Amino acid sequence: MNKRLLLAAMLLAVSFAAPVTAHASDDGGAKTNDDDPGINAQGIAVNKILKVLQSDPDSASDSCINALKEMHTSQDQLAQQEAKNNNQDLGVARDVVASDMEDVATMCGADARRLCRSPDGEKGKLAQACDTLPDAGE
């Protein structure tokens, strides 16, 4: 599947999902329903970034797309570990998800901030999404 089509599908899935705080990996967004509050906080920040990128999926860089793919892969692996109740590997899986979410926040966050600085960033729903965008340091 074309990278841009994949990203558009992931971003579109986020727009039709429940509110940001209820996102899980199966809706295209970042996981926010984990037992680890740190992962949930990161997931909320990532989902805010993805909400901005929904307005123009083509503004997402290849590094953002690759980071999203990695995050989804690690979220799937975490879900498998949680289903197995394998506590030994669960901590490692959570660390990988947290690291991948940081990568998405960095890569996709830069793209989202660039989009918010564009003339379109001051219009309608995009402006609202830009207002909720986490700071680069979050």
The pLDDT, as a whole number, for residue 35 is: 82
Q: At what angle do helices 37-53 and 124-131 cross, to 10 degrees?
A: 150
In Å, how far are 43, 70, 95, 122, 124 from 102, measured between CA atoms? 9, 11, 11, 26, 28
What is the reported pLDDT for 24?
Answer: 41
Report the percentage of the chain scoring pLDDT > 70: 77
* Average model confidence (pLDDT) across the chain: 81
Cβ(75)–Cβ(31) under 8 Å? yes
Average pLDDT over residues 53-60: 93
What is the Cα–Cα distance from 106 to 43, expressed in whole angstroms?
Answer: 13
Q: Which residue has the higher pLDDT, 3 or 43?
A: 43
pLDDT digits (tens, 9 = 90+) for 4-46: 555 555 554 443 333 333 334 445 688 888 888 889 999 999 9
State residue 134's pLDDT score.
Answer: 87
Give the start-to-end residue ranges of the domains of the chain.
3-131
Rounded to whole angstroms, how far apart are CA atoms 71 and 123? 30
Report pLDDT for 2.
Answer: 55
Other CB atoms within a 10 A radius of the CB of residue 125 amount to 12
% pLDDT > 90, the chain? 52
